[in-house]
Amino acid sequence: MPGITSPPLPAPDLIDIHCHQLSGSDHRQILSRDVHELASHPIAALDRIEALLTNRRYLSLGMHPWFIKHQTIETAFLRLKSCTHHPKILAIGECGLDKCIDTPMSVQIEVFSRQVQLSEELGKPLIIHCVRAFAELLQLKKSLAPTQPWIMHGFTGKPALAAQLIQHDCYISFGKALLQTGSQATLALQAIPLEQLFLETDAAGVSIDTIYAAAAKIRGIDPINLRRQIHSNFINVFFND
């Protein structure tokens, strides 16, 4: 009697780890919002955002370095802390360091460090924006010794930098840079462990399906296996209590 072949397992959801605009409802998305967008009524603003969050939609909330100068830091942290216990907020951020803006690095480090502390208090990962400040970032990683995962979003750097981040137990998320043939991001993607990989659309105006297809081609991996691995990473990072 011939053996019975089991039906193939369904492909897991696509995961868009970082986006600024929700698109469709056929994949999981983490919508990024800055605390300054909550204005003077953070709970009411969060309620309006929550109305958009179906079972596959989540939120990250933080203080982006670009917007530090547009708000009072203490007020911003009060707003941030008033909302971040919400179960649909999966991460703190995006937050980080950026040497291409005029906010002093000392101020950026203070604001970032306080968000690291909040991430640790809440047991929620950190989604990080970093521009030309990776030496400072990795020094903070060493000195603060966080236990929560750090996810570097929108990575476009060289393979050697990616290797440094991996050695410091960071996760790396790639976006539209993977669509540029021969970019540093495509080279970095080839060198990192799949267990520390995420993909995103950010504000690129491209679909997450397109990013996944590019990543699978670059890595020479079956697209379904890539989906399974990133889905596993998502569960391990955000739901591994």
Indicate the pTM of the whole model.
Answer: 0.92
**Domain boundaries, position 63:** 18-238
Confirm whether 2 is domain-assigned: no
Q: Specify the CATH number for the domain of residue 29.
A: 3.20.20.140
Q: Are 97 and 136 in contact (CB under 8 A)?
A: yes
What is the C-alpha separation between 61 and 34, in angstroms, rounded? 6
Confirm whether 158 is domain-assigned: yes
What is the C-alpha separation between 35 and 63, in angstroms, rounded? 6
Total domain count for the chain?
1
Confirm whether 59 is domain-assigned: yes
Confirm whether 7 is domain-assigned: no
Helix (H) or strand (E) holding 37: none
Confirm whether 11 is domain-assigned: no
Cα 161 from chain centroid?
18
Q: Is the bond leading into 94 cis (omega within 30 degrees of zero)?
A: yes
Q: Are 68 and 111 in contact (CB under 8 A)?
A: yes
Confirm whether 120 is domain-assigned: yes
Confirm whether 4 is domain-assigned: no
Q: What is the pLDDT along the chain (241 residues), one digit of tens a residue?
A: 455 544 455 678 999 999 998 887 789 999 999 998 876 555 666 666 666 667 789 999 999 999 999 889 999 999 899 888 888 899 999 999 999 999 999 999 999 999 999 999 999 999 999 999 999 999 999 999 999 999 999 999 999 999 999 999 999 999 999 999 999 999 999 999 999 999 999 987 899 999 999 999 999 999 999 999 999 999 999 998 6
Confirm whether 230 is domain-assigned: yes
- Report which of 38, 37, 13 is spatially closest to residue 24, judged by C-alpha positions: 13
